[in-house]
A and B are shown apart, each in its own frame.
Chain A
């Protein structure tokens, strides 16, 4: 009974760590064959908040944009961009679901392949509707390039943040094949690691105190 408070603290930390571990980060890269594109296009990332409240519990970081031979980044489309977004294609962009609808859009000149890295936090919204990230290719006139996206939004890529290991869906468009998504391993967030280390540290300490007491 004397050890009960210590064990309770350990179990609490382990439980917290277990819960917090759900909020991981998915990283990876996306590549899109843009060799058939000519002229100026626009790439748009749409990030919607499933809670509807703009709870800002997930972020998307986009970096290392490459355009292939002949390609180059353009300028941010401020008229289309909205919500919690920042950055540009040259230096990297980020989106946070601080509003129901968040859009980062920028023009670019296609080369052979458009590729970029992403990091996506995976906090699942309560209420049954997940946050969603999607990527849309627009023509020079701002019209989305039609894709096989069954939702009708003409996305090339969508991911619903409904788990710590969300599924990426990709769709071909009239002008491009479906993009290729390469996911890296899911990495627990640092706060979760801290909680786990603290829990195991306390457990070790408790065992030592128990051994010393015999």
Chain B
């Protein structure tokens, strides 16, 4: 008797698990604890394997993934984990407009021009519809396999209140020389992290038979008559020992004639798995994590399977990690005033755990109530269209990939005011006497220097700030570290240097210019002095 290595895609198996758990209540009345004949309604085993896609995304969910880019669809309602979660190939192919990439690694839009700039999960800056998701990697699945609740990322993050569902699979290899008569499955629960009072047995399957314990049952005793062909009954006992946290399932092949364990070495309830799923079985249970577990708490679970007198074989360990903390988000600071009615607003956040799923951004207009502006956005910025004379306050709220939502805020994290676009700064050249020194030359930096003095020769103060613009600067030279380039008042494109103060009548301001001039040809320009807060 031996166990074989079976490879199954993880996601379909979990979907089956999910379906089994969801259907438990419906079957309980007719199947629980009864001895059933083959071919009954409870004997129809749900198909397992990659050939079919048992649970394609619900209608409408494709809008989030595909090139259509429709309204936001809640990812969890669509049965999918989040931005970085992988998608099985069959689920990908079930989405209209989506395909598995040629290398098999990505689920992405069929648009041919998406291949170069699709981004993982998030919106592409080039084409918002060109998002892609990783394809579920193929995992080695031992026949004695343990699968658990699918969480987010490699750490399988789950919310603090999420139930933990586990399925344990076993199989008698097709190459085995005899059927299994007794199979014992044990699973040691972590009593420190799991609330054993919430433990519930789920469906128990072998071959084409499914037994469903009562809802909430922590123990089960039942059996199945395998019919005349095998002339066997299978007794199944399952129970949780609350004192130790050990769960045990025992399958025993009974000779109907003696009521004892069959003594026929060629008889047994689990034959070599030549005609799958005749040689396969599984058990399922669910349990809640204890309340109060901190974010980052790892919950591991591993089972053991024993065939007859063989040594126990351990299943893989399934890991889930608790994420109970919501994200911390904020809107980035804004300039006190905006001269354009449309201005960018940026937000960001951090999450200890699964990561941020989306942001919602709220805005208050002139101190009014905060209204939703950006709903469940996966972007980190957007342009806000305001109105001149209005003040705006913003805050952001985040939700993480396991559904933890940030508490509602009451105060703005960033405020700004939209003001009229300023006129160009005043050209005050006529009010100032501009005197230039000769050019010096810094032998170390090889930059030319020049001191320019601006004296107010008018009878009124020239308002701050001042900007000395150098118009028609010879092309061989550039101003080193200018304050900016003129763009408001003509001529545009002239470098200028700011001087922050104002100039009373008779007062002077001095600016030292530096020029880079690799050719060392002559430097010429005309001066223009701009004053006031207007544009340069």
Contacts and interface: CB of A to CB of B under 8 A. Distances in A.
B444 A132 contact: no
Interface in A132-172: 132-134, 136, 138, 142-144, 149-155, 158, 160-162
B230 interface: no
Question: Interface on chain A toward B: helix, strand, loop, or mixed SS?
Answer: loop
Interface string A110-144: 00000000000000000111111110101000111
A154 B444 contact: yes
Contacts of B444: 143-144, 154
A145 B130 CA distance: 60
A127 B524 contact: yes
Interface of B: 434-444, 448-451, 474, 510, 512, 514, 520-524
A49 interface: yes
A51 interface: yes
A100 interface: yes
Interface in A33-63: 44, 46, 48-54
A72 to B, nearest CB: 23
A184 interface: no
B267 to A, nearest CB: 99
Given A53-B522, A151-B449, A158 B440 contact: yes
B441 A50 contact: no
Contact of A80 (B436, B443, B520): B443
Interface string A74-88: 000000101000000
A101 interface: yes
B523 A100 contact: yes
A21 interface: no
B405 to A, nearest CB: 57
Given A103-B441, A134-B441, 12 more contacts: A44-B443, A51-B522, A52-B523, A54-B522, A129-B436, A130-B437, A134-B440, A138-B443, A143-B444, A151-B440, A158-B437, A158-B438
Given A129-B436, A130-B437, A150-B512, A144 B522 contact: no
A73 to B, nearest CB: 20
Max chain B C-beta neighbours (<10 A), residue from A130, A136, A153: A153
Interface of A: 44, 46, 48-54, 80, 82, 99-101, 103, 127-134, 136, 138, 142-144, 149-155, 158, 160-162
A155 B440 contact: yes
Contacts of A99: 520
Given A52-B524, A127-B524, A153 B438 contact: no
B438 A161 contact: yes
A129 B443 contact: no
Contacts of B443: 44, 46, 80, 136, 138, 142, 144, 153-154
Contacts of A49: 522
Contact of B436 (A53, A54, A100, A128): A128
Contacts of B510: 150
Contacts of A127: 524
Nearest to A138: B443
B239 to A, nearest CB: 88
B518 to A, nearest CB: 12
A193 to B, nearest CB: 28
A21 B253 CA distance: 130
Contacts of A136: 443
Max chain B C-beta neighbours (<10 A), residue from A48, A100, A103, A133: A100
Contacts of A153: 440-443, 449
A138 B520 CA distance: 21
Contacts of B451: 150-151
Given A52-B474, A136-B443, A144-B442, A151 B437 contact: yes
A129 to B, nearest CB: 5
A152 B523 CA distance: 18
A151 B441 CA distance: 9
A135 B520 CA distance: 18
Contacts of B524: 52, 127, 129
A128 B449 CA distance: 15
B520 A101 contact: yes
A135 B435 CA distance: 22
Contacts of B436: 128-130
Nearest to A166: B438
B475 to A, nearest CB: 12
8 contacts: A46-B440, A133-B438, A134-B440, A149-B440, A151-B437, A151-B440, A151-B450, A152-B440
Nearest to A53: B522
Contact of B439 (A50, A138, A152): A50
A128 B437 CA distance: 9
